[in-house]
Amino acid sequence: MMPDTQNEVVSSTDRRFGNRTQWLVANRSALDLRWVGHSGDVVNWGWLEQSQFDVAVRGTARLEAAGIPYAYTLGSHDTRVVSRGGSAYVSDPECLERFGLQCSSPLLLRRTEEFNQNFQEYRYGGLAGAFETGKLDNVYSTFNAGGKKWMLLTLELWPRYEAISWARSVVAAHRDYNVIVQTHSYLNPDGSIQQGNGGYGTSTAQYLFDNLIKRYANIRLVFSGHVGTVAMRADRGTQGNTVHSFLQTLHAQDNPVVSVNAATGTLRTWIYSPDLNRTDRVTTVTGIDWVDPGTT
Q: Write out pLDDT tens, residues 38-74.
A: 999 999 999 999 999 999 999 999 999 999 999 999 9
pTM for this entry: 0.95
CA 137 from centroid of its chain's CA atoms:
10
Give the residue ranges of DSSP H helices in 67-143.
93-99, 105-108, 113-118, 121-124
Give the residue ranges of DSSP H helices in the chain.
16-26, 28-31, 50-66, 93-99, 105-108, 113-118, 121-124, 161-172, 205-211
Q: Which DSSP string do the residues of 166-223 spell out, in sequence order?
A: HHHHHHHT-TTEEEEEEESS-B-TTSPBP---TTT-SS-HHHHHHHTGGG-TTEEEEE
215 has pLDDT over 90: yes
What is the average pLDDT score of the chain?
94
Mean pLDDT of 143-159: 95
Mean pLDDT of 206-220: 97
How large a percentage of the chain has pLDDT more than 70? 99
Amino acid 255: pLDDT: 79
Q: Write out pLDDT tens, residues 88-116.
A: 999 999 999 999 999 999 999 999 999 99
**Backbone dihedral region of 259: left (phi > 0), alpha (psi from -120 to 50 degrees) or beta?**
beta
Q: What's the pLDDT band for 253 if we cut at 50, 70, 90?
A: low
CA dist 180 and 62 (Å) reads: 24
What's the full length of the chain, in residues? 296
Which residue ranges form the domains of the chain, and what is each CATH number?
6-285 (3.60.21)
Q: What's the pLDDT band for 125 if we cut at 50, 70, 90?
A: confident
Residues in Cβ contact with 224 at an 8 Å cutoff, skipping those fewer than 6 apart: 39, 40, 182, 183, 184, 185, 186, 187, 205, 245, 246, 247, 248
82 has pLDDT over 90: yes
CA dist 267 and 52 (Å) reads: 34
CA dist 155 and 182 (Å) reads: 6
Residue 30 sits at the vertex; the CA angle it makes with 180 and 145, to the nearest 5 degrees, is: 35
3 has pLDDT over 80: yes
